[in-house]
Each structure stands twice: as structure tokens, then as C-alpha cells.
Amino acid sequence: MTASSQNGYRRVVVTGLGVVSSLGIGWQEFWKNLIAGKSGISRISSFDTSGYNRHYAGEIKNFDPSIFLSKQKIASTGRASQLAIAAAKLAVRDADFDFDILKVSKMAVCIGTTVGELRHLELFHDYIKSKSKVDKSEMINAFPSNSLSASIAREFGLRGWNSVMATACSAGNYAIGYTYEMIKHGKINFGLAGGSDSFSRVVFTGFSRLYSIAEERCQPFDKNRQGMIPAEGAGVLFLESLDSAIKRSAPIYAEIIGYGLSCDGQHMTIPTCDAVIMSIKGSLESAGVQSNAIDYISAHGTGTSENDKVECAALENIFGSRLKKIPVSGIKSMLGHTMGAASAIEAIGCCLSIKTAKIPPTINFETFDPDCNIDCVPNKFASKKVCVALNNAQAFGGNNSCLVIRKYA
């Protein structure tokens, strides 16, 4: 299939990947460590955890914002925005696209997040407690809720569509799906889509109060899994119409062909199987593919008891006995849970699985769980040709999203 349009709509391809994570900055380092089954989890260093009973997270220890931003801009830009800008710049460079052309292009920036610039609300709280005479209204105005996408737009000088998706841990897929739709229908020609979240004391406290954090490691689908490991990161994909990519002889990693969304509206933290099924089935219908076309599933796989159980039940409902023959890996076992960036980084993983014919493992797997009767690619990567990948995501509040990514041909 080489036609640049399908059913009257434009085809949408991924030509650039940008990732900033505890496993590496830039997709090359990230992918090398992911395939090697390395862990990006370490003891927390950004604040004192002596008052907690958990002490590990997926912090990015070696991120230097001065590589991507001027010193003046660093001072007025929150960490989540810094990560997002870095990932966006890496994606544009990877796509071999001229930054100056972006300024006059029909394009969009859409970034998903769970908490936005929450770290700066912590700083604001510290100011309130102090005797400082700093104008606190100015401080709040410096970090509005739309700061992630707006910060990218300001850094690049962009004037097109700009939005933030705040659907928690499924937000990256939401952002990619929204941008895909705009390109597909001809509203824009290019898009920077993904997700970003930084690690903070508030995030860690929240997950701690929910008793959802594992002691030292995340073990998706393992019978003795204890919970998730909070983390930070950013993943941004450069999307464009196939016409544009062909015209400029751009490298094409994969093609976005559909997505599905759902919200169960039932429980704040526990997903329902029916709603997850709805999201996955919706993505297959949107993409126009049958379930037997799926070669790989990138699972949400948080390592929490109910989440993994519900996700596996939903997959079994859709794929039946064939599910055991489909590799289903959970890369949060290595990265930790990067919240709003999670499904965006996992979408990048799907693109790279398609490109390299390698599937990342689920590390820390020790004991089979009959409630998770899948091939979770335990502990070591698998070599397999991937033509169609499914990227599944679930979130607090029952917000589910699923993206279908295909090998370009």
C-alpha cells in the first residue's frame, strides 16, 4: 500500500522520535537500554523520603536543560516543560525537519499530562509559608495549566493549534490520536504530539497515600506484583502527512492508522473491563483491522494488582486463545510509570519495534499469574517481525486510550 490517501483521507506517518527518560535521552540510548532489559529505577534524590516507607522512582538523573534551552529560559520554565521541549527538539531533529519552516507551517502541538507543572505549585506553597515578598500572582501566571504545549510553541515560535490533554496516564495516546485526526482531515500538515510529566513530592505522596507504590521494583503481570513505581519523562512524535514525508524523502518509522477512547466513569482508580474492551475495539474499528492482524501489544502494565488483571481480561476477551501467541510487554517495569508521558513513550517503543523487529521485555518477572495468562516477554527481548502494534493505556478516572500503529508500506 503506497497511496498517499485512503478513503479520501490523508495517511499519517511518524517521521521523528524524541524521548527523555530514566533509560536515556534520545531514542537511540533509550532503545538500547530498553532492549537490554535495563532498569531506570533508582533511589530518590530530588527530595528527602525519610518520612515515607517507599524510596524509589524513575528519576532522570542526567538531564541537562542547558543543552536545549538558554539559561534565561531555564529559569522561567518548569521541569515538565523542559522535558517536553527537549523531546520535541529531539523529534524535529530526528525527522530532519527545518525548525524555521515549522514557524510558517500549518501545524499543531498537543501534549498529554497528568499533573502539568506541579513542581512549581510546590515551590509556590513554599513561598506562601515563607515571609517572602515575591509577587505570588506573577509566579502562578508563569506556570499556567497549558504551559507544556505553550512552552514548546514559544520555544519554536509556532502559531498554530496548541493544546494540552489532561487525561492522566492515558494522555499521550489522546494527544497522538487528536493530532493524527487533524492531519488526516487536512486541518494541519505537521504535528508534535506526545506527553510529559516531571517527578515531584506531591505525586509521590499521592501514590503513597493510595498504597500503590512497590518497594523497589515494578513487576507487571507477576503473581507477586506489589505496585507501580512513579517516574518522570517525555515522549514526542513528529507526525506528518504521507504526501509531505514522501516529498521531502523523510525517514518513516511507522504509520498511525487508528485509535480508540473510552471512559467508564465508575471508579477513580480501578478500571472496568468493559471500558477497556471498548477502547481497544474502538481502535481496531478505527484502524480498519481485525484482531488477528495484531503482532505486538504494548501493555499499560502498571504492576498494580487490579490494573494488570483487568487489562489481561480485556485482552483475552478480544483476542481469545490467540492472545498467548501475541507478545504483550510492559516497559514500565524498566522506566517506571511516567504518567502523562507513559503511552507516548510506549508509542515510540511500538514504532521502534516495527523498525527493528525487536520487542522489549517485561523485566522482574518471576512467578506466573493465572489471572494474567499472557506472553509478557519475560526478562529478555524477543525478535519478531511486527507489522501492526497496539499501544494500550489506562488512567485514573477510567480514561482509556488505545492506538494502532502499522509498518509503512
Give catalytic residues, as residue numbers. 169, 300, 337
Q: What amino acid is encoded at 83 in this protein?
A: L
How far is the C-alpha of 194 from the C-alpha of 349, rounded, in Å?
Answer: 13
Query: Residue 372: how many CB atoms within 10 A of its CB?
Result: 24
Burial of 51 (0-12, 13-18, 19+ CB in 10 A): exposed
Q: Dmax over Cα atoms in the chain, in whole Å?
A: 66
How far is the C-alpha of 192 from the C-alpha of 135, rounded, in Å?
Answer: 34
How far is the C-alpha of 256 from the C-alpha of 242, rounded, in Å?
Answer: 11
Tell me the sheet residues that pair with 9.
6
Kind and range of the H or E run holding 104: none
Query: Residue 193: how many CB atoms within 10 A of its CB?
Result: 34
Residue whose C-alpha cell reads 538500547 in the numeric block = 32
Sequence-ordered list of residues with C-beta below 8 angstroms from that of 70, at least 6 positions apart, any chain: none
How far is the C-alpha of 16 from the C-alpha of 89, rounded, in Å?
Answer: 10
Residue whose C-alpha cell reads 517507599 in the numeric block = 54
Look up residue 233 and give its three cell numbers.
519523562
Residue whose C-alpha cell reads 519475560 in the numeric block = 378
Residue 217's Cβ-side half-sphere holds a number of Cα atoms within 13 Å equal to 15
Sequence-ordered list of residues with C-beta below 8 angstroms from that of 383, at least 6 positions apart, any chain: 357, 358, 359
How far is the C-alpha of 396 from the C-alpha of 203, rounded, in Å?
Answer: 13
Sequence-ordered list of residues with C-beta below 8 angstroms from that of 149, at least 6 positions apart, any chain: 84, 109, 110, 111, 162, 163, 164
Query: Residue 55: how many CB atoms within 10 A of its CB?
Result: 15
